[in-house]
C-alpha cells in the first residue's frame, strides 16, 4: 500500500481558503488528473495536457505532510479520488497519522463515492477524521450532466456540499438540487466573482431565506493574487 505511486502537482501549507475550516492552517495535497473540464476551473495545471510535477509514493506523501505543523489536510486536485484504490490507500495512510485531526477531500461530484463511503463506515480512523467536500457542478460549469446524484446518499453531517454560483440559472438550479437530493452536510455557495458578485449572492441567499446555507468566499484569492500557486 505504501509503495503505490501517484502523479502529483504540489504539496504545501497555507490557510484553508473556503468551507467550514476557512482560515485554519492546512496542508494541501494536490494530485494530478481530473475527469472533468469545468469552464471556470482555476487549476488547469492539474490535468492534461499539463503534466504531473512529480510522482510520489503514498509513504513519501505521508512523510512530506508531517514536516508541517498544521493539524488538517486538504486532499484536492484535479480530482483526488480519480486514482481509485491508490486514492483510498493514500487516504488510509493519512488518516492514521497522529499529527492530523481532519482530512477533507475535495471531490467533484462525478466520482462514485460508494467505495470510499464504505471504507469510512468500516474503518475507525476514516470515520473519525475523513470528510467529503462534494463540489456539485451547476450549468455554468458545463459539466452538470456528469453529476452522480446517489453520492448525496453517502454524505454525513460533517461533510460539505459546495455549489459554485456563476449566474441566476446556477442559483436556481442549486435550489432545485438541494430540494431534491440534499439530506445531510453543510451547504456552501461560492460566487464566480466575474459573473456573480459576492454581494449579489448574499442578497439572493437572504431573500430566499436560506438560513442554513453558508456563503463561502475563496480567502486565498483575496489574500494573494488569484493566479498565484502554492498558497
**Residue 34 annotated as lining a ligand binding site:** yes
**Residue 69 annotated as lining a ligand binding site:** no
DSSP string over 152-163: GGG--TT-EEEE
- Cis omega (within 30 of 0) on the bond before 78? yes
Angle (CA) 92-132-177 rounded to 5° is 155
Do 92 and 119 form a contact (C-beta atoms < 8 A)?
Answer: yes
**Residue 30 annotated as lining a ligand binding site:** yes
SS3 197: coil
**Residue 224 annotated as lining a ligand binding site:** no
**Residue 74 annotated as lining a ligand binding site:** no
**How many CB atoms lie under 10 A from the CB of residue 5?**
13
**Residue 15 annotated as lining a ligand binding site:** yes
**Residue 41 annotated as lining a ligand binding site:** yes
**Residue 55 annotated as lining a ligand binding site:** no
**Residue 173 annotated as lining a ligand binding site:** no
CA nearest to 148, candidates 66, 194, 57, 81: 81
Q: Which DSSP state fits 110? A: S
**Residue 102 annotated as lining a ligand binding site:** no
d(CA 96, CA 85): 17
Do 127 and 121 form a contact (C-beta atoms < 8 A)?
Answer: yes
CA nearest to 15, candidates 226, 221, 160: 221
Residue numbering of the annotated binding site for substrate: 15-17, 30, 76
Residue numbering of the annotated binding site for Mg(2+): 43
Residue numbering of the annotated binding site for [4Fe-4S] cluster: 34, 38, 41
Residue numbering of the annotated binding site: 15-17, 30, 34, 38, 40-43, 76, 78
Residue numbering of the annotated binding site for S-adenosyl-L-methionine: 40-42, 78
Amino acid at each position: 500500500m505504501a509503495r503505490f505511486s501517484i502523479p502529483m502537482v504540489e504539496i504545501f501549507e497555507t490557510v484553508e481558503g473556503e468551507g467550514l475550516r476557512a482560515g485554519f492552517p492546512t496542508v494541501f495535497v494536490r494530485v494530478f488528473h481530473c475527469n472533468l473540464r469545468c469552464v471556470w476551473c482555476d487549476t488547469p495545471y492539474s490535468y492534461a495536457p499539463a503534466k504531473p510535477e512529480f510522482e510520489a509514493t503514498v509513504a513519501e506523501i505521508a512523510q512530506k505532510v508531517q514536516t508541517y505543523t498544521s493539524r488538517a489536510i486538504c486532499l484536492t486536485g484535479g480530482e483526488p479520488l480519480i486514482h481509485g484504490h491508490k486514492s483510498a490507500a493514500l487516504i488510509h495512510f493519512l488518516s492514521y497519522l497522529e499529527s492530523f485531526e481532519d482530512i477533507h477531500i475535495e471531490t467533484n461530484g462525478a466520482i462514485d463515492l460508494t467505495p470510499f463511503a464504505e471504507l469510512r463506515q468500516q474503518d475507525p480512523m476514516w470515520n473519525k477524521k475523513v470528510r467529503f467536500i462534494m463540489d456539485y457542478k451547476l450549468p455554468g460549469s458545463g459539466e452538470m450532466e456528469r453529476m452522480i446524484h446517489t453520492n448525496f446518499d453517502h454524505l454525513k453531517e460533517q461533510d460539505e456540499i459546495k455549489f459554485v454560483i456563476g449566474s441566476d440559472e446556477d442559483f436556481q438550479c442549486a435550489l432545485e438540487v438541494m430540494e431534491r437530493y440534499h439530506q445531510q452536510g453543510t451547504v456552501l455557495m461560492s460566487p464566480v466573482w466575474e459573473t456573480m458578485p459576492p454581494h449579489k449572492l448574499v442578497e439572493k441567499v437572504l431573500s430566499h431565506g436560506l438560513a442554513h446555507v453558508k456563503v463561502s468566499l475563496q480567502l486565498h484569492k483575496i489574500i494573494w493574487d488569484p493566479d498565484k500557486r502554492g498558497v
